[in-house]
């Protein structure tokens, strides 16, 4: 025991992800990345991640090893009701501690199922078992709770389910505040995610190359599907001090990036566009061909969208472009469905039939079939029609990344063109 305690690094954390699906390569370990980001944001040093399968002996071995090295072990996976969910049982066994049923957890599981009209089956009761002495880490959305347990002095385990949405909600609601209050987080980290569209990661990185080198606050680039992000992180004694470090850095980056920076933190292209239209008291409709409803879905995903976003038309088939959006047949015949004139007619048509102030339309070739030398897969025409006229133009995403990638980029690009149009004086 003495050797163990000596071997531990102060305040260090490890992540242990449990699931045979990770060892088989069925899924990517997004949970490890997400938790790693959160630990960094809390200022908790994190030196090792591990993955083991749904195997009792290997989970026990991994937990014991971690107890010899670190102060805080975060686990994901293996909390469900099926026989291969054995995380809680294995952790209890690793420290020779019996399991006890928590009546309040079992009551909560039954209540959740009943409210969803799902049957309460006996196997679910396993999820109410926790080691003696462990605190419940509540799961607000799913049935399996986690735990916060210190089986040895100076060593604490937090367990989470493997479902990312449940894990993230539990972390935010309970684990992060607990880690702060328990003094495991050292100082405070404050961070801000700046979001960009219309600029590549490498080109943005060149513009801020000197800032990527600095120590505190730090700047780190992330690339997603079309969107590029910069995470600004400051470490300081208090949240106020951290903000003092972040504010001028953010201003400098926004200055260098110009209108490529569309927002920060929880913003999306859809939420930013909706907020600006709400401020103006204007409404929006969409006319979608190749995205099939993806732009509307992105808008509808934003809470409160309904006061700005009216809806629109999914004109996937050319016949619907004519029937519902009144796109003239000769335009389709002369220019083809994937063209500026048709995109314009769709955007104007959806304004007309919905009465919206703004209409956004896309028509393109998402592939894998349907491309030609003249109009290759990845070619999309986008039109934005508003009170002061309509502007259309093409964009080429290339074919290499596939259909859903092209559809996702098209939705982002369409919203970004509307955003830039709204920035015009």
The verdict on 53 binding a copy of itself (CB under 8 A) reads yes
The verdict on 311 binding a copy of itself (CB under 8 A) reads yes
Residue environment code for 355-369, b if the CB has 16+ CB neighbours within 10 A, otherwise e: ebbbbbbbbbbbbee
The verdict on 297 binding a copy of itself (CB under 8 A) reads yes
CA distance 231 to 240: 18
| Interface of this chain with a copy of itself, residues 91 to 150, rule: CB under 8 A | 112, 115-119, 121, 123-124, 140-141
Cβ nearer to a copy of itself, comparing 288 with 357 = 288
Cβ nearer to a copy of itself, comparing 6 with 116 = 116
Contact residue for a copy of itself among 22, 72, 234, 257 (CB under 8 A): 22
Site track for a copy of itself across 373-412, x = CB under 8 A: -----------------------xxx-xxxxxx-x-----
Cβ nearer to a copy of itself, comparing 389 with 402 = 402
CA distance 239 to 37: 18
Output the CA–CA distances (angstroms, integers) from residue 61 to 122, 150, 333, 365, in the order listed.
30, 17, 69, 53
Contact residue for a copy of itself among 42, 52, 134, 342 (CB under 8 A): 52
Where residue 405 falls (left for φ over 0; alpha for ψ -120 to 50; beta otherwise) is alpha
Query: Backbone phi, then psi, for 344, in 5-degree steps?
Result: -60, -45
Cβ-count burial of 7 within 10 angstroms (0-12 exposed, 13-18 middle, 19+ buried)? exposed
Strands of 140-269 (E only): list them: 146-152, 155-160, 188-197, 218-223, 227-236, 261-264
Peptide bond before 368: cis, by omega within 30 degrees of 0?
Answer: yes
Pick from 411, 378, 416, 406: which is nearest to 287 by CA?
Answer: 411
Q: How far is the CB of 163 from a copy of itself (least distance, A)?
A: 7
Cβ nearer to a copy of itself, comparing 248 with 368 = 368
The verdict on 80 binding a copy of itself (CB under 8 A) reads yes
The verdict on 277 binding a copy of itself (CB under 8 A) reads no
Cβ nearer to a copy of itself, comparing 281 with 303 = 303
**Who's near 333: CB < 8 A, 6+ residues apart?**
none
Cβ nearer to a copy of itself, comparing 104 with 307 = 307
Contact residue for a copy of itself among 11, 65, 97, 390 (CB under 8 A): 65
| Interface of this chain with a copy of itself, residues 327 to 366, rule: CB under 8 A | 353-355, 366
Site track for a copy of itself across 230-259, x = CB under 8 A: -x-x--------------------------
């Amino acid at each position: 025991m003495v050797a163990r305690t000596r071997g531990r690094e102060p305040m260090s954390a490890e992540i242990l992800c449990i699931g045979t699906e990770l060892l088989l390569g069925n899924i990517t370990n997004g949970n490890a990345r997400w938790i790693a980001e959160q630990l960094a944001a809390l200022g908790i040093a994190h030196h090792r991640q591990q993955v083991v399968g749904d195997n009792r002996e290997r989970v026990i071995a991994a937990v014991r090893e971690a107890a010899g090295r670190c102060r805080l072990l975060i686990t994901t996976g293996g909390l469900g009701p099926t026989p291969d969910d054995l995380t809680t049982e294995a952790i209890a066994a690793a420290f020779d501690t019996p399991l006890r049923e928590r009546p309040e957890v079992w009551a909560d599981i039954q209540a959740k199922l009943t409210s969803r009209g799902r049957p309460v089956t006996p196997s679910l009761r396993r999820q109410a078992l926790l080691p003696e002495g462990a605190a419940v880490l509540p799961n607000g959305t799913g049935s399996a709770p986690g735990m916060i347990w210190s089986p040895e002095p100076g060593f604490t385990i937090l367990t989470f389910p493997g479902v990312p949405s449940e894990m993230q909600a539990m972390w935010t609601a309970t684990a992060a505040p607990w880690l702060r209050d328990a003094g495991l987080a050292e100082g405070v980290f404050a961070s801000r995610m700046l979001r960009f569209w219309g600029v590549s990661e490498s080109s943005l990185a060149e513009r801020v190359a000197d800032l990527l080198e600095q120590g505190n606050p730090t700047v780190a680039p992330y690339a997603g599907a079309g969107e590029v992000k910069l995470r600004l992180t400051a470490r300081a004694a208090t949240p106020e001090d951290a903000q003092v470090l972040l504010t001028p850095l953010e201003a400098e980056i926004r200055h260098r990036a110009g209108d490529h920076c569309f927002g920060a933190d929880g913003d999306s292209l859809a939420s930013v566009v909706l907020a600006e239209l709400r401020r103006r008291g204007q409404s929006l409709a969409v006319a979608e061909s190749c995205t099939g409803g993806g732009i509307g879905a992105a808008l509808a995903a934003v809470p409160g969208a309904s006061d700005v976003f009216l809806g629109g038309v999914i004109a996937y088939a050319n016949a619907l472009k004519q029937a519902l959006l009144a796109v003239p047949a000769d335009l389709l015949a002369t220019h083809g469905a994937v063209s500026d004139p048709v995109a314009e007619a769709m955007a104007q048509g959806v304004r007309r039939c919905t009465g919206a102030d703004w209409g956004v339309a896309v028509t393109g070739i998402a592939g894998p079939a349907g491309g030609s030398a003249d109009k290759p897969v990845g070619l999309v025409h986008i039109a934005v029609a508003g009170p002061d006229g309509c502007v259309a133009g093409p964009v080429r995403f290339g074919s290499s990344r596939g259909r859903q990638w092209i559809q996702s980029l098209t939705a982002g690009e369409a919203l970004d063109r509307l955003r830039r149009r709204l920035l015009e004086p």
